[in-house]
Structure 1
Amino acid sequence: MKPWVKIIIALVLGVIAGLILNIQHDPSPFLLKLQDIIGLIGKAFIDLLKMLVGLIVFSSLVVGMCHISDPKKLGRIGTRTILFYAGTTVLAVVFGLVMVFLVRPGTGLGLPLPANLGGAQTVGLTDFLFGIVPSNPFAAFSEGNILQIIVFAVFFAFAINMAGERGKKVLSLLESVSEVMYSLTHFIMRLAPYGVFALILTAVSSVGFKVIVPLLTFLLCNYIAFALQIGIVFCLSLKYLSKLEVAPFFKGMKDAIVLAFTTSSSSATLPVSLDCARNHLGISPDISGFVLSLGSTINMNGAAIGQAISAIFIAQAYGIEVTVVKVLILVFVSLVSAIGAAGIPGTGIVMLSVVLNAMGLPIEGIALVAGVDRIREMGSAVVNVLGDAVAAVFIAQKEGQINEKRYHKITWLE
């Protein structure tokens, strides 16, 4: 059975069990004790996710930055590509924030705050900006300060590139660490159904039927934001930046769209995306190979939308005020974490824990969205794939490496 199927089953069973416990007006001591034990299982799963976050972020970010910081890649085309990706990612986060703040799907759930979050302090913008620079990187790891880990990783990656051949030895070690963390994450994600069951049971048992409609609204917010990103950012980019017709683009990418939606994986869709870009859109192999390969690593428009909506949804569910500083943290982490996200299995769940940690939000809230994450990821993967392809069209058009006659002749039947 597929892991995502197990997680959905765990979500459904957790909701049912939680509703049963919720309607018990006078639960027996046995049920109360059982609920406590199940709550501990959920806490253990959250602790396992927390255990992964620091090293995953550091190793994957350093490795990713070192790979794209190759001087041969960071020429005119590379810089233009990265800036294009950064711009569309910021816009993706904005669309996600607009939707979740307008609809407010989590408002009214009133989930109880975890005990270790009760004393959270409001951080000012100045304190935030100066606080993200670690005075002791080891302390940042031990305290789980994700923003400081990210800043340290950025400097560390630059230092590796400056060190030349000696730096390559350190990079090789970190590549091995990243692979080990990949394996460890894969193992822990096998336990996700049990953790999701325990966490969602605990959440639903306290709020009852109130959780179902917000989850459906949460999914609706995601898909409307996906549609806005495609309909506004991508279509306008094709029309006014690339000076090309919009319809042929979607005709040419239809195979990649279908595969991305059914597999929920933009990385797995890369070979088909390359074929569509070269044979249907008329983009040169050099441009399509570089831009799409780079995009599958650092360009996650769909994931950025999902992280923004999920984080604010969880904050609303717990009744936590989202300050301007928290929003800035969300944008920053969404941008930077995308560099290493592609190499992590279960990206949606693991990277959301990074965002929640950085924003000071309860990681326990992952249980609310974990069960429907597969449904969200189907649309997210499509946005990721189309975002890469739009960038490839833009770069190819600017470099004169697109066959416009081939582009405009594509039909739905090809």
Structure 2
Amino acid sequence: MAWWFGIKLWKRVFLGLVLGVAFGLLVSQTMSPEAGEALLAKVRVIGDVFIRLIRMIVVPLVFFTLVAGIYAMGDPKKLGTIGVKAFLLYLGTTFFANLIGLSMGLLFRPGEGVNLGGAEPRPLAGEAPSLGERLMGIIPENPFAALVEGDILAVIFFALLLGVGLLMAREAGEAAGRFFEATAEGILKVTHIIMELAPFGVFGLIAYVAGTQGIATFTAILSLTIAVYLGCALHMLIVYGGLVRIILNLPFVDYFRGILDPMMVAYSTSSSSATLPVTIRAATENLGVRKSVAGSVLPLGATINMDGTSLYLGILALFTAQAFGYQLDPQHYLMIALTCALVSIGAAGIPSASLFLLSIVLGVFDVSPEHIALVIGFIFPFDRLLDMMRTVTNVTGDTAVATAVAKWEGELDEEVFRQKPLS
């Protein structure tokens, strides 16, 4: 098995992805729909096990690495500068995501000629929480309950306070600080073990998607698919690539080569939260981002940096307007962009979660509840395929911002950044 582990992880993940697509399509073409789906459901168990392992490690990883990262800074003031820079960068990249998303919607006009009459309405389960409720939800009533429930925003808030408290405790907090650093290191090692299962998990997940939804899914919504994929690709290359190459003066190719692992895992899992462990690993081992920055900026990004989601919601808003003939004025475009940015912040990092935020965006130009239900019903069956690409965008943005903050804070090892990834 030495030859297998000698292959770089991203290549093994890519191989699993390609073989998964081939296997899923082969099953769909050679077996009856019932028998094929039954077989693919069994194969998917491999992917479900992988996702479960990832989700098992996410909360402790976020909690311990964030506390350890803050403690490693040695100065509470430094946390403030890092947090402000990261937050402003996340907002800045979201602005460009909105611009690109609306441009793609106007260029490809994916909603023109689309017949939604055959779509099964999919009403929303309930109202989305207000902005005030979201902000209040950041503060956990019981931090241990937040850890158990996996409430990432609340976990981040408590971890930030605890890390600052350990810094302020100085000598009295040293023992606890070393405990968190040692535990964070142990959790990262566990993460490495789990990531060795990634090629098999990706195979199982992609085989099921390809076998049950097939290539026809793409052809049925070709214009929308092209608009989303091209928009995300342009955002990653121009905005994130430009940040790395032009502003940071770092090698463009080395950056993308260093994050191939999280990009592949993000594409297969459609979850930025599930990809977080491998994102932290790539940022520290391949990009040279110090753990103090990676441990604080990346968990924050996995929660609030949803550029792919914002871009996607903008395209869907125009798709809806074009499909149903709603007339949009200039102020509508501005409000769509603003609303997409606001609702995308803190969107759950799980598959298709952003689709159910669409009703808030469509409220900007008074789309009827019936039309909202039809659009969601039409998009939902193949949203996973679109979600895969926008998750890659989100994860790429997390690493770009972490690299920028590390560079400006003097916490980036450029020698590591410029060398070829170890795995």
- TM-score, normalised by the number of residues in structure 2: 0.58
Check the 8 A contact 2:94/2:306 in 1, yes or no. Answer: yes
- Output the CA distance in 2 between the equivalents of 1:241 and 1:84: 12
> Equivalent residue for 1:81?
86
> Equivalent residue for 1:183?
none
Check the 8 A contact 1:281/1:406 in 2, yes or no. Answer: yes
- Please tell me the residue identity of whatever aligns with 2:245: K
Check the 8 A contact 2:273/2:349 in 1, yes or no. Answer: no
1:398 corresponds to 2:408: yes
Check the 8 A contact 2:352/2:383 in 1, yes or no. Answer: no
- Please tell me the residue identity of whatever aligns with 1:284: R
The Cα shift of 1:343 comes to: 5.5
Identity %: 33
> Equivalent residue for 1:30?
none
* Residue pairs, 1:377-388, within 5 angstroms: 377-388=387-398
- Please tell me the residue identity of whatever aligns with 1:374: R
The Cα shift of 1:328 comes to: 2.4
> Equivalent residue for 1:230?
236
> Equivalent residue for 2:276?
270
The Cα shift of 1:279 comes to: 0.8
The Cα shift of 1:358 comes to: 4.5
* Residue pairs, 1:192-341, within 5 angstroms: 215-341=221-347
Does the C-alpha gap of structure 1 residues 74 and 314 become closer, same or farther in structure 2, counting only changes over 3 Å?
farther
- Report Cα offsets for 1:320-356 as digits up to 9, x if no partner: 1122333223222222222321256631322223322
- Report Cα offsets for 1:136-173 as digits up to 9, x if no partner: xxxxxxx96x79x33x447x64xx99xxxxx8649999
- Output the CA distance in 1 between the equivalents of 2:223 and 2:301: 30
- Output the CA distance in 2 between the equivalents of 1:72 and 1:339: 25
Does the C-alpha gap of structure 1 residues 359 and 404 become closer, same or farther in structure 2, counting only changes over 3 Å?
same
| Root-mean-square deviation over aligned CA pairs | 3.6
- Please tell me the residue identity of whatever aligns with 1:396: A
> Equivalent residue for 1:195?
none
- Please tell me the residue identity of whatever aligns with 1:392: A
Does the C-alpha gap of structure 1 residues 169 and 268 become closer, same or farther in structure 2, counting only changes over 3 Å?
closer
Check the 8 A contact 1:295/1:388 in 2, yes or no. Answer: yes
> Equivalent residue for 1:192?
none
- Output the CA distance in 2 between the equivalents of 1:174 and 1:280: 32
- Output the CA distance in 2 between the equivalents of 1:168 and 1:260: 28
* Residue pairs, 1:338-377, within 5 angstroms: 338-342=344-348, 346-361=352-367, 362-364=371-373, 365-377=375-387
Check the 8 A contact 1:222/1:309 in 2, yes or no. Answer: yes
Mark the runs of 5 or more structure 1 residues left unpaired by the alignment: 1-11, 13-66, 113-142, 162-166, 180-208
Q: 1:371 is paired with a residue of what secondary structure?
A: helix
The Cα shift of 1:212 comes to: 8.5
- Output the CA distance in 1 between the equivalents of 2:243 and 2:351: 31
Check the 8 A contact 2:232/2:389 in 1, yes or no. Answer: yes
Check the 8 A contact 1:110/1:318 in 2, yes or no. Answer: no
The Cα shift of 1:290 comes to: 0.8
Q: 1:282 is paired with a residue of what secondary structure?
A: coil
> Of residues 84, 93, 97 in structure 1, which corresponds to 2:98?
93
Does the C-alpha gap of structure 1 residues 406 and 178 become closer, same or farther in structure 2, counting only changes over 3 Å?
closer
Q: 2:345 is paired with a residue of what secondary structure?
A: helix
The Cα shift of 1:176 comes to: 10
Mark the runs of 5 or more structure 2 residues left unpaired by the alignment: 1-27, 29-65, 71-75, 118-125, 152-215
- Output the CA distance in 1 between the equivalents of 2:257 and 2:218: 37
